[in-house]
């Protein structure tokens, strides 16, 4: 049985004050979320603060991105060892906003995945198609290509140490959620593809759904066979909304 994981991706939102309040709200309610594992991924500058505020709670910390390099002259970058210094457990790589807005391609994402894994972080590898790609009927090709770049660089066994997040780009921040059936179909495709290479890896890896998940649709999404939780954007910015999703994971 795979444990349900609900991870909040705060993106570039929040302030010192609002983040203190958000973490206080989430930690106060997290005990009621049963067996569901919870993680939050703040903007880099708030990671030290959130790390301190989460001490002693069941909530894990993650980053929204990481450098593919270990150290050196890479202005503006954050290395995985820095993330380790503040107790990060997860590292989101290949989010569609990184891919679309900052030109990060499959190979670069694979190198970030490799760097995170080498440092002992659990990469949350984001994959997903645009609306245009869905309409062209190439969703599976796109997702397969995104996965293959990582498998080619790191090998199939590496996927066992990771989390995959299927986030259809057309459902992110749009209020348009993939239906549980649409999401399940892609999750089943991903697991089936992995099973073709290594059944053990396919059985073990958590595959999260992301894209306009809310308290009102989380239960139905998470009840699908191959959906093991969610990567939450907008609804992770209010403690009550986020906790409602965490509770739906039970
Ligand atoms: P929304 O939940 O705001 O649609 O964002 C999803 C997402 O991109 C999480 O990484």
Instruction: Give me the residues of the chain with pLDDT under 50, please.
Output: none
Range of the domain at 217: 5-248
| pLDDT attached to residue 155 | 98
Average pLDDT, the chain: 97
Give distance in angstroms: CA of 73 to centre of ligand 1: 32
Residues 6+ apart with CB under 8 A from 38: 5, 6, 7, 8, 26, 30, 58, 59, 60, 246
Q: Which atom of ligand 1 is nearest to the CA of 212?
A: 4
User: What's the token pair of residue 196?
Assistant: 């073709």
Give distance in angstroms: CA of 5 to centre of ligand 1: 15
Query: How many structural domains does the chain have?
Result: 1
Q: Identify whether the C-beta of residue 168 lies closer than 8 Å to the C-beta of residue 211.
A: yes
Q: Identify whether the C-beta of residue 63 lies closer than 8 Å to the C-beta of residue 91.
A: yes
Q: How far is the C-alpha of 230 from the C-alpha of 207, rounded, in Å?
A: 8
- Rg for the chain, CA atoms, rounded: 17
Closest Cα partner for 158 from 192, 110, 196? 110
Q: Identify whether the C-beta of residue 22 lies closer than 8 Å to the C-beta of residue 14.
A: yes
Q: How far is the C-alpha of 185 from the C-alpha of 187, rounded, in Å?
A: 6
Tell me, yes or no, if 187 is annotated catalytic.
Answer: no
Tell me, yes or no, if 95 is annotated catalytic.
Answer: yes
User: What's the token pair of residue 236?
Assistant: 């992770």
Q: How far is the C-alpha of 218 from the C-alpha of 223, rounded, in Å?
A: 8
Tell me the CATH number at 186.
3.20.20.70
Q: Which atom of ligand 1 is nearest to the CA of 172?
A: 4
Give distance in angstroms: CA of 62 to centre of ligand 1: 15
| pLDDT attached to residue 91 | 98
CB atoms near residue 15 (< 10 Å): 9
Q: How far is the C-alpha of 246 from the C-alpha of 203, rounded, in Å?
A: 22
| pLDDT attached to residue 14 | 98
End-to-end CA distance of the chain: give it in Å, rounded. Answer: 13
- Using one digit for the tens of pLDDT, what is the confidence trace for 26-53? 999 998 888 999 999 999 999 999 999 9
| pLDDT attached to residue 13 | 98
User: What's the token pair of residue 14?
Assistant: 């929040």
Residues 6+ apart with CB under 8 A from 169: 96, 100, 128, 129, 130, 131
Q: Identify whether the C-beta of residue 38 lies closer than 8 Å to the C-beta of residue 67.
A: no
Which burial class, exposed, middle or buried, applies to 189 when counting CB atoms under 10 A from its CB (0-12, 13-18, 19+)? middle
């Amino acid at each position: 049985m795979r444990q349900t994981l609900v991870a909040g991706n705060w993106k570039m939102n929040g302030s010192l004050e609002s983040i203190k309040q958000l973490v206080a709200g989430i930690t106060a309610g997290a005990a009621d979320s049963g067996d569901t594992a919870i993680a939050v991924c703040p903007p880099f500058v708030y990671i030290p603060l959130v790390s301190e505020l989460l001490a002693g709670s069941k909530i894990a910390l993650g980053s929204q991105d990481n450098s593919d390099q270990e150290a050196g002259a890479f202005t503006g970058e954050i290395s995985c060892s820095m993330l380790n210094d503040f107790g990060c457990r997860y590292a989101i790589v290949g989010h569609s906003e990184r891919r679309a807005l900052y030109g990060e391609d499959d190979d670069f994402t694979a190198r970030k995945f490799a760097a995170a894994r080498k440092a002992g972080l659990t990469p949350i590898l984001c994959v997903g198609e645009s609306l245009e790609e869905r309409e062209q009927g190439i969703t599976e090709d796109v997702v397969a290509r995104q996965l293959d770049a990582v498998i080619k660089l790191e090998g199939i066994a590496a996927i066992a140490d990771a989390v995959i997040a299927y986030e259809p780009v057309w459902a992110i921040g749009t209020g348009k959620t993939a239906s549980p059936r649409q999401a399940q179909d892609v999750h089943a495709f991903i697991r089936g593809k992995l099973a073709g290479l290594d059944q053990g890896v396919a059985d073990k890896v958590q595959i999260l759904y992301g894209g306009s998940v809310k308290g009102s649709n989380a239960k139905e999404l998470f009840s699908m066979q191959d959906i093991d939780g969610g990567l939450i954007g907008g609804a992770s910015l209010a403690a009550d909304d986020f906790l409602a999703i965490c509770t739906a994971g039970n």
